[in-house]
A and B are shown apart, each in its own frame.
Chain A
Amino acid sequence: MEQADLQRLFDSKIEQEIRIEPKDWMPEAYRKTNLRQISQHAHSEVVGMLPEANWITRAPSLRRKVALLAKVQDEAGHGLYLYSAAETLGTSRDEMMDDLNSGKAKYSSIFNYPTLNWADIGAIGWLVDGAAITNQVALCRTSYGPYARAMVRICKEESFHQRQGYEIMMSMAFGTPQQKQMAQDALNRWWWPALMMFGPNDSESTHSQQSLDWKIKRVSNDDLRQEFVDKSIPQVEYLGLTLPDPDLKWNEERGHYDFGSIDWEEFYRVVSGNGPCNKERLQARNKAHNEGAWVREAAMAFAEKRQTNVA
């Protein structure tokens, strides 16, 4: 087929909501955009293990310890599905990992914030996973098949994590005065970074329009953010906590909550590598990778030896 015919076939699939599959022809920019987005998403799962793993050894009951271990393990599993989905676009997991470790690839900036008290584990499950789900439910309809299917699976687990996170927040907010204080402190620190997870305002977002046209992205950043704010506020009220936003109020006319403007300067500082924990997170990933090199080499050498013996 001629290039123009291939392009027409691709366009008509997008138009008719037929998923694009790995062996289908696709425009190079479509492939690259998907690869960037899926690998960033995979990296986010893997780096996202670190702030939560920070509290596993200090979890305050054995039930919580086991739940948190299982949750962080789920994130590793999500990383695996997503790396597999990204590999269908022609880049190996090793290459993607190298890009992560060298700082070339991005991951969600939210994981560059520290977990400072136990309620942070609740706040991450509730708000960070909650924001992620808002995004990912929309991505279950994304146009690239392997990504959409990975999202369906991941969404199921994430909504379980979110309930678990909210349950931690409830036991903190309804607990002793010190626990309530920890819950409020966690909410104060995680609220704005959670809103930043939806990305720049639509007017500023560089990739948005093309991604919407290709149906990689299904709902705009600002619409998703609004949806998240609207559903979070009753949950905050139920906990008896307050949000660190004096401009927050119900807008009868719009049928939505109005909220204050995001500190985009902070957002871009964190994205460009200057967040509270960027260096620490990358160092931890590099350390695990470098110290694991001899293990991976030995496993390869062993597998080769056995193969030779069998042959």
Chain B
Amino acid sequence: MGDNGLILGQRLAEWCGHGPILEQDIALTNISLDLIGQARLWLSLAGQIEGQGRDEDKLAYFRDANEFRHLNLCEQPNGHWGTTILRQFLFDAFHLPLLEQISKFDDPQLASIAQKCVKEVRYHLRWSSEWAVRLGDGTEESHEKMQQALADVWPFAGEAILANAFDLELAEINPAYNIQMVNKAWWSTVNDVFNQANLEVPAANWAPQKGREGIHTERLGFILAEMQFLPRAYPDAQW
């Protein structure tokens, strides 16, 4: 959860100052702020559970690419505004139902972080859905750009909603966790929004992505090189 927020938030932050409309520059920065804020909570909790004295910054800045556990969707490049919107939408449509489940976990720490995140992510999903519809059903040019951007990001979405061994293990510990239900909610949101947006689900199948197991795309190395540079170059410094 923390890595998803951190890496997607980092990608969105690249837009800051370069958005197509000042109001939307602000809106996208807000989502980036929310996601990085959420990442701080998750990573702090992860460090605390691990009990080796690693805080949010140690986890963000001093892990290598293969130790990150986010979906490979999150690290994909911003592309144009429509690519960013669709990457966001496909993520939000998964993020929200997942958080809704975690907010019902017995573990009070997990549940309380998820409850806080749900409020923010509900807004993210509304915003990205509205933009997907607006651009999908805007002009002929925007429709074409969206359909083509969708072809780029779509293959990465499968990783979010297909169960792996970890999901099965987690479901045993937490009966409230059910990836099939997340999958169902995701498809229902996606179908509904694509329908309004006049967008077609691409024929392409899911790409086999294993970001959650630490196997990422070539993009991540560059994101980390940039993000981690200062603390790695000056490990004794306090900032």
Q: Does A255 contact B (CB under 8 A)?
A: no
Give the distance to chain B from A266, nearest Cβ to Cβ, in Å: 26
What are the residues of chain B within 8 A of A270 when measuring CB–CB? none
| C-alpha gap A65/B22 in the complex (Å) | 20
User: CB-defined interface of A42-73 with B at 8 Å, one 1/0 digit per residue?
Assistant: 00001001100100111111111110011011
What are the residues of chain A within 8 A of B230 when measuring CB–CB? 58-60, 118
Cβ A69 vs Cβ B80 within 8 A: no
Q: Does A176 contact B (CB under 8 A)?
A: yes
Cβ B237 vs Cβ A58 within 8 A: no
| C-alpha gap A58/B225 in the complex (Å) | 9
Cβ A62 vs Cβ B20 within 8 A: no
Q: Does B163 contact A (CB under 8 A)?
A: no
Q: Does A237 contact B (CB under 8 A)?
A: no
Give the distance to chain B from A97, nearest Cβ to Cβ, in Å: 9
What are the residues of chain A within 8 A of B43 when measuring CB–CB? 62
Interface pick from A21-29, A192-200, A296-304: A296-304
| C-alpha gap A289/B25 in the complex (Å) | 12
Q: Does B52 contact A (CB under 8 A)?
A: no
What are the residues of chain A within 8 A of B239 when measuring CB–CB? 60-61, 64, 118, 168, 171, 175
| C-alpha gap A66/B13 in the complex (Å) | 10
Q: Does A116 contact B (CB under 8 A)?
A: no
Interface residues of A in 72-121 (CB under 8 A from B): 72-73, 76-77, 79-80, 83, 118
Cβ B17 vs Cβ A53 within 8 A: yes
Cβ A297 vs Cβ B138 within 8 A: yes
Instruction: Name the residue of chain B whose CB is nearest to the CB of A168.
Output: B239
Interface residues of B in 11-42 (CB under 8 A from A): 13-14, 16-26, 29-30, 32-33, 36-37, 39-40
Q: Does B134 contact A (CB under 8 A)?
A: yes
Q: Does A178 contact B (CB under 8 A)?
A: yes
| C-alpha gap A77/B26 in the complex (Å) | 8
| C-alpha gap A76/B230 in the complex (Å) | 27
What are the residues of chain B within 8 A of A73 when measuring CB–CB? 16, 26, 29-30, 33
User: CB-defined interface of B215-231 with A at 8 Å, one 1/0 digit per residue?
Assistant: 00000000000110111
| C-alpha gap A46/B23 in the complex (Å) | 12
Give the distance to chain A from B113, nearest Cβ to Cβ, in Å: 15
Identify which of B37, B80, B145, B234 contacts A66 (C-beta below 8 A): B37
Q: Does B205 contact A (CB under 8 A)?
A: no
Interface residues of A in 167-191 (CB under 8 A from B): 168, 171, 175-176, 178-179
Cβ B23 vs Cβ A80 within 8 A: yes
Instruction: Name the residue of chain A whose CB is nearest to the CB of B12.
Output: A69
| C-alpha gap A209/B161 in the complex (Å) | 67
What are the residues of chain A within 8 A of B6 when measuring CB–CB? 62
Give the distance to chain A from B44, nearest Cβ to Cβ, in Å: 9
User: CB-defined interface of A249-291 with B at 8 Å, one 1/0 digit per residue?
Assistant: 0000000000000000000000000000000000010011101
- List the 4 closest pairs (A to B, CB-CB), nearest first: A292-B20, A298-B138, A298-B142, A49-B17
Query: Could you list 23 examples of A-B contacts with CB < 8 Å?
Result: A57-B13, A58-B229, A60-B61, A60-B230, A62-B56, A62-B60, A66-B40, A72-B29, A76-B22, A80-B23, A168-B239, A176-B237, A288-B19, A291-B81, A292-B20, A295-B20, A295-B142, A297-B139, A298-B138, A299-B135, A299-B138, A301-B139, A302-B134
Residues of A within 8 A of B (CB): 46, 49-50, 53, 56-66, 69-70, 72-73, 76-77, 79-80, 83, 118, 168, 171, 175-176, 178-179, 284, 287-289, 291-299, 301-302, 305
